[in-house]
A and B are shown apart, each in its own frame.
Chain A
Amino acid sequence: ETGVTQTPRHLVMGMTNKKSLKCEQHLGHNAMYWYKQSAKKPLELMFVYSLEERVENNSVPSRFSPECPNSSHLFLHLHTLQPEDSALYLCASSPEKTGGTDTQYFGPGTRLTVL
């Protein structure tokens, strides 16, 4: 639909597990983003990658570890999460052509539940 795909769509994990979220964009964009969407809270920007380089890390705990091996793929590695980390994790991408005012295109998200 938007050209941004995310897998898995749903994930349930225990606090001691290690899992990874995957995002892929088919739009030829240069910037990719991870957002956290919790109930009754605004979308929170977690990480930004521009041309495969991490340019933003908004005080995210180290139990979240992003990886951007190329401009089309973005991962979020998860380990020893807490129940309060349960949320919808959204990936987005943008072309990076108009100095920070590009449209961001979102994937459908991964619904994460930490038990």
Chain B
Amino acid sequence: GENVEQHPSTLSVQEGDSAVIKCTYSDSASNYFPWYKQELGKGPQLIIDIRSNVGEKKDQRIAVTLNKTAKHFSLHITETQPEDSAVYFCAASQGGTSYGKLTFGQGTILTVHP
């Protein structure tokens, strides 16, 4: 089955700096890669996603890049703010089913210091 590795497990940055979280996946058939943000006491919420026919996607301060050959994808947050502090999860979908079948990474605890 699919295996997703996520690094780093914790990341501490100063407000205004950039943050980068990286994930690798094992199943070359995976074709959908969402990123979720989980704040304390809440469920994960989608912040951005990318599909295998696209190499990069941006949404304001957030961007995701995908390298299918190397089987890795990354989340980039620019101009970080304290409210960006949360746990971030990457995931990969194996596809082949009508419903979603996501495999998640272990999560990254991002702390943005004012």
Interface residues of A (CB under 8 A from B): 1-2, 4, 30-31, 33, 40-43, 45, 48, 50, 55-56, 90, 92, 94, 96, 99-109
Whether the Cβ atoms of A106 and B43 lie closer than 8 Å is yes
Whether the Cβ atoms of B97 and A55 lie closer than 8 Å is yes
Partner of A56, one of B41, B46, B101: B101
Taking CB atoms and an 8 Å cut-off, the chain B residues in 91-107 that contact chain A are: 93-107
Chain B residue nearest to A111 in the complex (CB):
B41
Complex CA–CA separation, A94 to B44 (angstroms)? 14
Contacts of A1 in B (CB 8 A): 42
Contacts of A41 in B (CB 8 A): 106
Whether the Cβ atoms of B43 and A102 lie closer than 8 Å is no
Whether the Cβ atoms of B43 and A99 lie closer than 8 Å is no
Whether the Cβ atoms of B95 and A101 lie closer than 8 Å is yes
User: Contacts A31-B100, A48-B101: A100 and B95 contacting too (C-beta < 8 A)?
Assistant: yes
**Most chain-B Cβ atoms within 10 A of its Cβ — which of A48, A50, A94, A103?**
A103
Whether the Cβ atoms of B97 and A100 lie closer than 8 Å is yes
